[in-house]
A = this chain, B = another copy of it.
Amino acid sequence: MPRLVMKFGGTSVADIAHIQRVARHVRRETEAGYEVAVVVSAMAGTTNQLVSWTREISPLHDAREYDAVVASGEQVTAGLLAMALQAIGVDARSWLGWQIPLRTDAAHGAARIAGIETDELIARLSRGQVAVVAGFQGIGPDNRIATLGRGGSDTSAVALAAAIGAERCDIYTDVDGVYTTDPRMVPEARRLDRLSHEEMLEMASLGAKVLHVRSVEMAMVHGVRTFVRSSLVDPDAPELKGANATVGTLICDEDEIMEKKFVTGIAYSLAEAQLSLRRVADKPGVAAAVFGPLAEANINVDMIVQNVSEDGTLTDLTFTVPTADYNRARLVIEGAREAVGFHVVQGSTDVAKVSVIGVGMRSHAGVAAECFAALAAENINIRAITTSEIKISVLIDAPHASLAVRTLHSLYGLDKD
């Protein structure tokens, strides 16, 4: 029988009524003929409470103890969901990370999955028993609980799907899929039926919060088909059953997507700030002198733009950092003034990054030019540009963000079916 992994986040298991609804989602799939493993997060709010207790005791705490405390949240949900399944006649049992075992490396608090021993779990799946797996947790080489860090339950689900050879990994969330852009900003935004892993990776990196970057990376590497869908619908609706499920977004290999569009989505972020160093010496070692100290200060740099200078002597260097780190970044840069030798630092927190994403642009040269022309026609000034194979990002003034997103969304035909 085909296997399915179903993952439910904290808001989907927020209380007993929600957990009972999740049980009905699971029963629907067992009745559709799947062997099912379910991965659950902690009930909404639980993890925050546990984390705040650990902080109250000490800001600097033993990550192994932190893991023992925080992993308890998923343990509770797994037990409760197994009970809820049994109560509606579905054979089920809970699995904690150490019971499977799901082995991790020794990096407590942000562990990486080293391997999953699936023999017993698969034997029970094939006897028709649903496996309810506590997400976010495994067991480290020290025989102690290790948690996977942010996005951990998504990562657990995708890794489990790869390990048991699941046909699909369904990620249930409070939205019904991935959209061409943020529907709160652009009412015409449409749900995408399919999206490649590479595109989802860019969308996730650029602010679409449906899936964590790490789990998308893992899905891409292991070729796991991931289906983003809503947990808020009636679980017993016949159109949701099994392989027929159509309401949602399938994230899959590019090969599975027949009709490729040039552009699949527009992402944006208001959480970055711009820093520009004016009249920097255009010589080897300058970039290292700038970005070395920032890395040491644990400040993530995103866009980096440097032009070839006209006369080979002085150039401008622009980059973005998280808005929260802006003031700290300025101080770090001022401290490196002598080593870098720039004239002046300019910056702004009032900027937006807007990105056009699509695997199709690889083979279509005009996408970027169309983008710049359309923004110019709306009188939107572009501060900086970066591109990758499947993405164009522009930095603009924040007040223009909404107009820019709507303009580009319409430009590439994303408003239409």
List residues of chain A with CB under 8 Å of any chain B CB: 16, 19-20, 50, 53-54, 56-58, 61-62, 64-69, 71-73, 75-76, 78-80, 82-84, 86-87, 93-94, 96, 98-99, 143-145
- In angstroms, Cα B101 to Cα A114, docked, is 24
Closest to A73 in B: B72
Whether B82 lies near A62 (C-beta < 8 A) is: yes
Distance A84 CA – B54 CA, assembled complex (angstroms): 9
Residue from B61, B64, B79 within 8 A of A66 (CB atoms): B79
The reply to whether A16 and B56 form a contact with Cβ atoms under 8 Å apart is yes
**In the complex, what distance in Å separates the CA atom of A53 from the CA atom of B19?**
11
Per the bound structure, the CA–CA distance linking A79 and B84 in Å amounts to: 28
Flag if A53 contacts B16 (CB, 8 Å). Answer: yes
Give the residue of B76, B84, B96 whose beta carbon is less than 8 angstroms from that of A50: B76
Minimum Cβ distance to chain B for residue A18 (Å): 12
Alpha-carbon gap, A79 to B58, bound state (A): 12
Cα–Cα distance between A96 and B87 once the two chains are bound (Å): 29
Distance of A131 from chain B, by nearest CB (Å):
13
A93 B64 Cβ-Cβ under 8 A: yes
Contact of A68 among B73, B75, B84 (CB under 8 A): B75
Q: How far is the CA of A71 from the CA of B68 in the complex (A)?
A: 12
**What chain B residues lie within 8 Å of A96 (beta carbons)?**
68, 145
Given contacts A72-B76, A76-B72, A144-B99, contact A66 B53 (CB under 8 A): no
Q: Which residues of B lie under 8 Å from residue A64 when comparing CB positions? A: 93
| Cβ distance A177 to chain B, nearest Cβ, rounded Å | 30
CA distance A71 to B94 in the complex (A): 14
* Given known contacts A65-B83, A69-B75, A57 and B20 CB-to-CB distance under 8 angstroms: yes
Q: Which residues of B contact A82 (CB under 8 A)?
A: 62, 65, 68
B-side contacts of A79, CB under 8 Å = 54, 65-69
Q: How far is the CA of A84 from the CA of B58 in the complex (A)?
A: 7
Of the candidates B62, B68, B84, B93, which one forms a contact with A78 in the assembled complex, judged by CB atoms under 8 Å apart? B68
CB nearest neighbor in B for A78: B68
26 A-B pairs, CB-CB below 8 angstroms?
A: A16-B56, A16-B57, A53-B76, A54-B80, A57-B80, A57-B83, A57-B84, A58-B83, A61-B87, A64-B93, A65-B80, A65-B86, A65-B94, A66-B79, A67-B79, A68-B78, A68-B79, A68-B96, A69-B79, A69-B80, A71-B75, A72-B72, A72-B76, A75-B75, A96-B145, A98-B98
